[in-house]
Amino acid sequence: MYQIMKKEFLAPNIFSMHVLAPRVAKSAKPGQFVVVIADEKGERIPLTICDYDEKEGTVEIVVQTMGASTRAMARYEVGDSFFSFLGPLGRPSEFVSEDLDVLKKKKMLFIAGGVGTAPVYPQVKWLHEKGVAVDVVLGAKTKDLVILEDKLASVSDNLYVATDDGSYGFHGLVTDCLLDLVENKNKEYDVVVAIGPMIMMKFVALTTKKLNIPTVVSLNPLMVDATGMCGACRVSIGGETKFACVDGPEFDGHLVDFDEALRRQTQFKLEESEKLKAFEECEFWGGRK
């Protein structure tokens, strides 16, 4: 059993949990994820790792309550335990294995959108600890949905917050902020890493392709069972079939068939809707899932 040591609400319907999982904390690297099973009858929930503390033996995850399973997870409090906490899974970010002297010469920009901010933080933190300069664009629909701002500010050289409605920071989409940095502020970047909603990553990749900036994206949103067995995260990368859970989750953003990925992301929409309805009915009548 994997005990919850800390729980914090970050924004409406978004919370973080620090889970006691010493083996995962000891082995985790930036870019990897875990699979959480809340109880004996729970389904597998792939979640990217937000942070890890080898000394404390804890792993931080960030959860957005959208479906029945994440709604059930939201009921868990400090002192409760998850049935299973499997990981670390997936391939670490490529820069982890790069020559450090070469890496320090690169100008890197991370673009984080929504809960995609969670996997961005450990990557930027790792680079910061290695002495690599990194800029970050942190995007959200509105000010109330901006998360992990202080943590990212502590490890990035420059943090730019962008909100769609202009309620905080730069007024516009993250792609607008990217263009502003390059075209108006004369910023130059050797690589962009974009993690967030699939549609956001698609348009970041389209923008960076025009700017001729190599781009990495994370296809974690596609994953279901995270073993490669179900095929739900199958996607075309440069015309080749890959699986986000075992071959990724990070890929060359300019090679991803985003239209296919967006279609695949909706394949279980009906089943998810029916399960959420059943969960809400159970809540209404005072039952427990």
- Measured distance CA(65)–CA(196) in Å, rounded: 16
- Measured distance CA(135)–CA(114) in Å, rounded: 17
- Measured distance CA(274)–CA(289) in Å, rounded: 14
Q: What pTM did the predictor assign?
A: 0.89
Residue 101 domain-assigned? yes
Q: How many CA atoms lie within 13 A of 165 on its CB side?
A: 8
Residue 225 domain-assigned? no
Asked whether 175 and 197 are in contact (CB, 8 A), the reply is no
- Residue ranges of alpha helices (H) inside 14-116 are 22-27, 68-73, 100-104
Same domain assignment for residues 73 and 43: yes
- Measured distance CA(194)–CA(114) in Å, rounded: 11
Q: 211-268 pLDDT, tens per residue?
A: 999 999 999 888 777 776 777 788 899 999 998 888 889 999 999 999 998 887 665 5
Same domain assignment for residues 45 and 117: no
How many structural domains does the chain have?
2
Same domain assignment for residues 123 and 168: yes
CATH of the domain at 22: 2.40.30.10
Q: 114-145 pLDDT, tens per residue?
A: 999 999 999 999 999 999 999 999 999 999 99
